[in-house]
Amino acid sequence: MRSMTTTGRFITFEGGEGAGKTTQVRRLAERLRLLGREVVETREPGGSPGAEAMRHILLKGIAKPLGTEAEAMLFAAARDDHMVTTIRPALARGSWVLCDRFIDSTRVYQGALGNVDPRLIRELEHVVVGTDMPDLTLVLDVPPETGLARVHARGEATNRFEEENLQYHRELRTAYREIAEGEPERCLLIDASQSPEVVAVRIWMAVQERLLRPLREGQAPRAAG
Ligand code: T5A
Task: For 210-222, write each residue's pLDDT tens digit.
Answer: 999 998 888 877 5
**Is 14 a domain residue?**
yes
193: CA distance to ligand 1 center in Å?
Answer: 13
**Is 221 a domain residue?**
no
Q: For residue 114, what are the domain limits?
A: 10-216
Q: How far apart are CA 15 and CA 148, in angstroms?
A: 12
Q: How far apart are CA 107 and CA 122, in angstroms?
A: 8
User: What value does the mean pLDDT take over residues 75-89?
Assistant: 98
pLDDT of residue 202: 98
**For residue 23, which atom of ligand 1 is closest to its CA?**
35
Summarised one tens digit per residue, pLDDT across range 140-169 is 999 999 999 999 998 888 888 888 889 999
- Is the confidence at residue 200, as pLDDT, over 70? yes
2: CA distance to ligand 1 center in Å?
Answer: 27
**Is 149 a domain residue?**
yes
159: CA distance to ligand 1 center in Å?
Answer: 10
Nearest CA to ligand 1 atom 45: 154
pLDDT of residue 19: 98
Summarised one tens digit per residue, pLDDT across range 84-132 is 999 999 999 999 999 999 999 999 999 999 999 999 999 999 999 999 9
Q: How confident is the model at residue 67 (pLDDT cuts 50, 70, 90)?
A: very high
Ligand 1 binding pocket includes 59 (Cβ within 6 Å): yes
Q: How confident is the model at residue 225 (pLDDT cuts 50, 70, 90)?
A: very low
**Is 224 a domain residue?**
no
Ligand 1 binding pocket includes 154 (Cβ within 6 Å): yes
**Is 93 a domain residue?**
yes
User: What value does the mean pLDDT take over residues 58-80?
Assistant: 96
> Considering the entire predicted model, what is its pTM?
0.96
User: What value does the mean pLDDT take over residues 66-83?
Assistant: 98
**Is 66 a domain residue?**
yes
100: CA distance to ligand 1 center in Å?
Answer: 8
pLDDT of residue 3: 64
Ligand 1 binding pocket includes 105 (Cβ within 6 Å): yes
- Is the confidence at residue 223, as pLDDT, over 70? no
**Is 5 a domain residue?**
no
Ligand 1 binding pocket includes 106 (Cβ within 6 Å): yes
Nearest CA to ligand 1 atom 50: 195
**Is 225 a domain residue?**
no
Per the structure, how many domains does the chain have? 1
Mean pLDDT of the chain: 94
Among residues 158, 214, 209, 180, the alpha carbon closest in space to that of 12 is found at 180
pLDDT of residue 224: 43
Share of residues in the chain with pLDDT > 70 (%): 96
State the CATH number of the domain containing residue 33: 3.40.50.300
